[in-house]
């Protein structure tokens, strides 16, 4: 168990290490990123085993969702870091004469706190850590107490790769998280729920610590399937995504709205896709991930039981294995309670709507809190592009699911109740960097333009020059 003094000591050691300037050289950062990559690659089998213990994930799912993305992003960062960190040079402008040039330096914040969740414990710990390292910060990782085996392995990997005064892992429950939040960090990065994010922000406000928040969204992520969509393709992709990690994904489809004209056909294709991908006996399939703990299982089961009369597929679970079948609930009204909160489970409410009345559905979604992800399936690409540029959400796809977060060089993040700040690649480097503007003056040719007097003939001449220069 940690005490407040323990955590305070860790932060003080990291602050002293940061102030020594050791993290600033790019060569140092690059060495640390390579060390992290080696550690992840050499621990691949251990990571797979930990994810199987915590979430029931297979080797392929573990690599696809946690291991591969970290390696891919480290590689992207190594390729771009020197370019991203290069100071920008700007012409100072006539107003600043005789200064000719101004620099913008990309400076690290300092000592950072990374609070990571259980659902993708390695990707959402190391994926954030690598951005903090690239920008020249130190880091304290508060890993989830729910993913016990993964957290223990994260702690082992970090302790064997980095000194404690540079990067360290703290485990424990909410009490330990609060002890961390009571310290003065220079940057906090939290991934989790909107409710906890409000608490994080309140704690950070005491020290005016800047925060980045990656949240699932209060009302969940919508997927819209219009009547002109390729029904089989849409059903196949929705089924894949709902099965992945048993629905415990921040960008997962929380509810799917299907045009009434094709609803029955879509439901049949969706059932067929679930059976094709996971089999008739999902609860016995070792490839099917399980819910994180008994509390998550019980919450899922209670919700499913409340909608048992409208369950058209699935609906059963096995508490001993924490597996719950992919469960389709139909029909569900767009204003019901189940589609106004993040489910974080394999439950899938299906909301029918008249295709001609899609604008009413979109208006209803717009009135709610902004989701982290938004998906549409349609053959009308013009309409889809217009909608995707009008709605407010973190990121999304047209005729696809989830893959937008796998694209190199693009940002990932939410807005409003789905978060603030972005990361991945250069965007992560920028998130953990503060741009500092430094103008270099001159001791010669300094004009009295900015100096008193401001009135009389001299003032009139100065005003004329100011108007000329400040255009």
CA distance 289 to 249: 12
> For helices 26-42 and 68-85, what crossing angle results, to 10°?
170
CA distance 66 to 150: 11
250 is catalytic: yes
Residues 318/283, Cβ–Cβ less than 8 Å? yes
**DSSP states of 261-303:** GGHHHHHHHHHHHHHHHH-S-GGG-TTS---SSHHHHHHHHHH
223 is catalytic: no
The dihedral formed by the CA atoms of 443, 449, 452 and 458, expressed in degrees to the nearest 10: 130
Using alpha carbons, select from 282, 302, 289 the residue that is nearest to residue 252.
Answer: 289
Q: Which residues of 60-70 are buried (b: 16+ CB within 10 A; e: fewer)?
A: ebbbebbbbbb
CA angle 403, 366, 235 (to 5 degrees): 40
- Give the pair of three-digit tokens for residue 109: 């914040």
CA distance 194 to 344: 13
CA distance 190 to 192: 6
Q: Which of 214, 301, 342, 431 is catalytic?
A: 214
Q: Which residues pair with 439 in a beta bridge?
A: 102
Using DSSP's 3-state secondary structure scheme, residue 446 falls into coil
Q: Which residues contact 374 (CB under 8 A, 6 or more apart)?
A: 221, 222, 223, 388, 391, 393, 395, 396
Strand 101-108 relative to strand 88-91, pairing: antiparallel
CA angle 254, 281, 269 (to 5 degrees): 50
Residues 448/110, Cβ–Cβ less than 8 Å? no
Q: Which of 65, 223, 250, 397 is catalytic?
A: 250
Q: Which residues contact 388 (CB under 8 A, 6 or more apart)?
A: 374, 376, 396, 398
| Residue linked to tokens 């070792």 | 286
Q: Which residues pair with 260 in a beta bridge?
A: none
Backbone angles phi, psi at 198, to 5 degrees: -60, -40
User: Furthest-apart CA pair in the chain: how many Å?
Assistant: 91
Catalytic annotation, residues: 214, 250
């Amino acid at each position: 168990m940690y005490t407040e003094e323990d955590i305070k000591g860790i932060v003080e050691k990291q602050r002293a290490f940061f102030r020594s300037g050791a993290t600033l050289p790019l060569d140092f950062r690059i060495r640390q990123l390579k060390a992290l990559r080696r550690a992840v690659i050499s621990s691949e089998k251990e990571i797979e085993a930990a994810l199987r213990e915590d979430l029931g994930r297979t080797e392929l799912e573990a690599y696809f969702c946690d291991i591969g993305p970290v390696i891919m992003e480290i590689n992207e960062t190594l390729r771009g870091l020197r370019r991203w960190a290069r100071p920008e040079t700007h012409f100072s402008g006539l107003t600043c004469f005789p200064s000719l040039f101004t620099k913008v330096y990309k400076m690290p914040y300092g000592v950072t706190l990374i609070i990571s969740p259980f659902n993708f414990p390695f990707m959402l710990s190391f994926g954030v850590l690598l951005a903090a390292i690239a920008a020249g910060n130190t880091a304290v990782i508060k890993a989830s107490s729910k993913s016990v085996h993964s957290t223990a392995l994260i702690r082992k990997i970090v302790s064997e790769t980095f000194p404690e005064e540079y990067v360290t892992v703290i485990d424990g429950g909410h009490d330990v998280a609060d002890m961390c939040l009571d310290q003065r960090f220079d940057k906090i990065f939290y991934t989790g729920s909107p409710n906890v994010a409000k608490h994080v922000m309140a704690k950070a406000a005491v020290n005016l610590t800047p925060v980045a928040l990656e949240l699932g969204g209060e009302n969940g992520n919508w997927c819209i399937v219009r009547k002109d969509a390729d029904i089989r393709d849409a059903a196949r992709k929705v089924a894949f995504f709902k099965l992945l990690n048993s629905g415990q994904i921040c960008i997962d489809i929380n509810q799917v709205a299907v045009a009434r004209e094709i609803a029955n056909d879509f439901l049949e294709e969706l059932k067929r896709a679930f059976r094709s991908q996971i089999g008739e006996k999902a609860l016995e399939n070792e490839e099917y991930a399980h819910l994180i703990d008994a509390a998550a299982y019980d919450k899922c089961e209670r919700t499913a039981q409340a909608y048992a009369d409208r369950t058209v597929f699935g609906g059963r679970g096995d508490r001993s294995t924490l597996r719950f079948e992919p469960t389709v609930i139909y029909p569900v009204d767009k204003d019901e309670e189940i589609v106004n909160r993040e489910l974080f489970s394999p439950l899938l409410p299906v909301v029918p709507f008249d295709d001609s009345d899609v604008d009413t559905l979109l208006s209803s979604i717009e009135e709610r809190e902004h989701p982290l992800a938004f998906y549409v399936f349609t053959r009308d690409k013009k309409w889809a592009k217009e909608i995707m540029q009008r709605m407010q959400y973190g990121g999304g796809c047209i005729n696809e699911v989830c893959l937008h977060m796998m694209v190199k060089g693009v940002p990932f993040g939410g807005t409003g109740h789905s978060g603030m700040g972005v990361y991945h690649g250069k965007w992560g480097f920028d998130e953990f960097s503060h741009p500092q503007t430094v103008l270099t003056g001159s001791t010669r040719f300094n004009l009295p333009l900015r100096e008193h007097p401001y009135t009389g003939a001299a003032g009139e001449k100065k005003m004329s020059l100011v108007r000329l220069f400040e255009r």
